[in-house]
């Protein structure tokens, strides 16, 4: 169906941070399947993991356990650094649906979410998403959701009370154009939620698994002023490097978790997806990988900001937002594509980049060299 409008390109092949279209033209992929292709395209370790697992055991349903699924759950809990249990899904929206249902196990129904939020397109996830244009055609939406200004501690203080089941926050807002909140925001949100017996639920679907240069954005010292221990974390996008998977991690502090019959999925966390995710975690966990993500992100921001028509750069690691002097992101996306670079127009003013985490300096410098002409061709004035 026509959900994304006419496709911009037909892509046929990829390698590293490069893709080729049906006419054989090459592009540097600075979007990475929307923050998904963490290891780039056709990474040998990912290909090997998926191939070997599919040859061994491809799918079994969740009536049974599989070794990769158990190993993945243990790895994720270890990275979170606190006791937790995991429910696997096939997507981000489904991870949020699971979490949304889980919040009802508190005996409360109210969720406090934020303006500019994006949590997915299913009815429950959409109920948590603030964008009016996405919501309106599908109202009434389920739930009991209050939206407060993102990044504003006082607004949280005012909205959260003893009827609140959970406070739901993206540590950095991705779809909104890469919005980084003040460093004290998440610690304050945790305090406010816990003062009222509410859960802190972080949607790390876009920011998790190395994207910002830390395993989780809520653990990144540049993004939080003090350690945060969320009660629920949802993951997806980069987790299996392009094989569909999502996860809802919940600590025991989140009160009642699911009991048999409360929730389920046929495909979620199947052995192939779990093996893919383990390969991604193995590569990201190698010495120096996360430091390189930070370094690459800084270089990418610097080459983009070298043109004065970029009035602001925001982000962490390889989640980068550029604010243009004029609201011409759509024109920039087209001009970039013509020049052989794939970027995303998150809002009319903001260009978003979420490239493979294996992006090389050569790719970044090629983008930097092409960038002024891209802005010229898009008609962006200083
Ligand atoms: C992409 C995204 C989702 C939705 O994930 P899907 O896999 O598209 O369902 C939810 N939350 C955030 C923060 C996202 O970036």
φ and ψ at 121, to 5 degrees?
-115, -5
Strand 246-251 versus strand 232-235 pairing type: antiparallel
Statement: residue 349 has pLDDT above 90? yes
Pocket flag, ligand 1, residue 110 (CB < 6 Å): no
User: CATH classification of 45-284 is 3.40.640.10, yes or no?
Assistant: yes
* Cα-to-centroid distance, 377 and ligand 1 (Å): 32
Pocket flag, ligand 1, residue 206 (CB < 6 Å): yes
- pLDDT at position 200: 97
- pLDDT at position 382: 83
Q: Of the residues 90, 95, 118, 273, which should be mutated to test ligand 1's pocket, given the most ligand atoms within 8 Å of the CB?
A: 118
* Cα separation, 95 vs 130, whole angstroms: 18
Tell me the whole-structure pTM to 2 decimals. Answer: 0.98
Mean pLDDT along residues 123-130: 98
φ and ψ at 44, to 5 degrees?
-55, -35
Mean pLDDT along residues 244-255: 87
* Cα-to-centroid distance, 176 and ligand 1 (Å): 12
User: What percentage of the chain reaches a pLDDT higher than 90?
Assistant: 96
- pLDDT at position 252: 75
Q: Which CATH code, of 3.90.1150.10, 2.30.40.10, 2.60.40.10, 3.40.50.620, is assigned to 11-30+287-377?
A: 3.90.1150.10
Tokens of 192: 């406010």
Pocket flag, ligand 1, residue 119 (CB < 6 Å): yes
* Cα-to-centroid distance, 345 and ligand 1 (Å): 16
Pocket flag, ligand 1, residue 352 (CB < 6 Å): no
- pLDDT at position 75: 98
* Cα-to-centroid distance, 246 and ligand 1 (Å): 9
* Cα-to-centroid distance, 81 and ligand 1 (Å): 23
**pLDDT single digits (tens) 259-293:** 999 999 999 999 999 999 999 999 999 999 999 99
Mean pLDDT along residues 45-62: 98
- CB-CB contact of 135 with 141 (8 Å): yes
Nearest ligand 1 atom to the CA of 236 is 7
- pLDDT at position 344: 97
pLDDT band at 76 (very low <50, low <70, confident <90, very high): very high
Nearest ligand 1 atom to the CA of 246 is 7
- pLDDT at position 143: 85
Q: Of the residues 33, 100, 175, 354, which should be mutated to test ligand 1's pocket, given the most ligand atoms within 8 Å of the CB?
A: 175
Work out the mean pLDDT of the chain and round it to a whole number.
97
Nearest ligand 1 atom to the CA of 94 is 9
* Cα-to-centroid distance, 220 and ligand 1 (Å): 20
Burial class (CB in 10 A: 0-12, 13-18, 19+), 55: exposed
Nearest ligand 1 atom to the CA of 122 is 9
Output the residue whose Cα is nearest ligand 1's atom 10.
119
* Cα-to-centroid distance, 175 and ligand 1 (Å): 9
Nearest ligand 1 atom to the CA of 244 is 7
Pocket flag, ligand 1, residue 300 (CB < 6 Å): no
- pLDDT at position 133: 94
Distances (CA, A) of 215 to 16, 210, 293: 21, 4, 11
* Cα-to-centroid distance, 142 and ligand 1 (Å): 18
H or E element at residue 203? strand 199-203
Neighbours of 286 (CB within 10 A): 9
* Cα-to-centroid distance, 125 and ligand 1 (Å): 9
Pocket flag, ligand 1, residue 175 (CB < 6 Å): yes
Q: What residue spans in the chain does CATH classification 3.40.640.10 cover?
A: 45-284
* Cα separation, 115 vs 150, whole angstroms: 6
- pLDDT at position 184: 98
Statement: residue 123 has pLDDT above 90? yes
pLDDT band at 254 (very low <50, low <70, confident <90, very high): low
* Cα separation, 36 vs 34, whole angstroms: 5
**pLDDT single digits (tens) 296-331:** 999 999 999 999 999 999 999 999 999 999 999 999
Pocket flag, ligand 1, residue 345 (CB < 6 Å): no
**pLDDT single digits (tens) 181-232:** 999 999 999 999 999 999 999 999 999 999 999 999 999 999 999 999 999 9
- pLDDT at position 255: 63
Residues marked as binding for pyridoxal 5'-phosphate? 92-93, 118, 203-206, 266
Statement: residue 45 has pLDDT above 80? yes
Nearest ligand 1 atom to the CA of 204 is 13
Neighbours of 168 (CB within 10 A): 26
H or E element at residue 165? strand 164-169
Q: What residue spans in the chain does CATH classification 3.90.1150.10 cover?
A: 11-30+287-377
């Amino acid at each position: 169906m026509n959900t994304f409008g006419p496709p911009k390109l037909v892509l046929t092949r990829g390698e590293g941070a490069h893709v080729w279209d049906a006419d054989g033209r090459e592009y540097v992929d600075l979007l990475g399947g929307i923050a998904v292709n963490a290891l780039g395209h056709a990474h040998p370790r990912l290909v090997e993991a998926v191939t070997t697992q599919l040859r061994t055991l491809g799918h079994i349903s969740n009536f049974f356990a599989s070794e990769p699924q158990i190993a993945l759950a243990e790895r994720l809990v270890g990275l979170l650094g606190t006791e937790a249990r995991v429910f696997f899904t096939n997507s981000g929206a489904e991870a949020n649906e699971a979490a949304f249902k889980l919040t009802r196990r508190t005996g409360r129904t109210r969720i406090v979410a934020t303006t500019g939020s994006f949590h997915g397109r299913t009815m429950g996830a959409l109920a948590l998403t603030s964008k009016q244009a996405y919501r309106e055609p599908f109202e009434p939406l389920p739930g009991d959701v209050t939206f407060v200004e993102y990044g504003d501690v006082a607004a949280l203080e005012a909205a959260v009370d003893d009827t609140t089941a959970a406070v739901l926050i993206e540590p950095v807002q991705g779809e909104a154009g890469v919005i980084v909140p003040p460093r004290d925001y998440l610690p304050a949100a945790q305090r406010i939620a816990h003062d009222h017996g509410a859960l802190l639920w972080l949607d790390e679907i876009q920011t998790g698994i190395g994207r910002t240069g830390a395993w989780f954005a809520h653990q990144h010292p540049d993004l939080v002023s003090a350690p945060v221990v969320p009660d629920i974390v949802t993951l997806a996008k980069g987790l299996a490097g392009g094989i569909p998977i999502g996860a809802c991690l919940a600590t025991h502090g989140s009160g009642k978790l699911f009991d048999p019959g409360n929730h389920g999925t046929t495909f979620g966390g199947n052995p192939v997806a779990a093996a893919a995710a383990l390969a991604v975690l193995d590569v990201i966990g190698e010495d120096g990988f996360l430091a390189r993500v930070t370094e690459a992100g800084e270089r990418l921001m610097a080459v983009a900001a070298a043109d004065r028509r970029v009035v602001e750069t925001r982000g962490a690691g390889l989640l980068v937002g550029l604010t243009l002097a004029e609201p011409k992101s759509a024109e920039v996306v087209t001009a970039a594509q013509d020049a052989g670079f794939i970027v995303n127009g998150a809002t009319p003013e903001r260009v978003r980049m979420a490239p493979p985490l294996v992006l090389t300096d050569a790719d970044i410098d090629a983008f930097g060299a092409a960038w002024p002409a891209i802005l010229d061709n898009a008609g962006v004035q200083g």
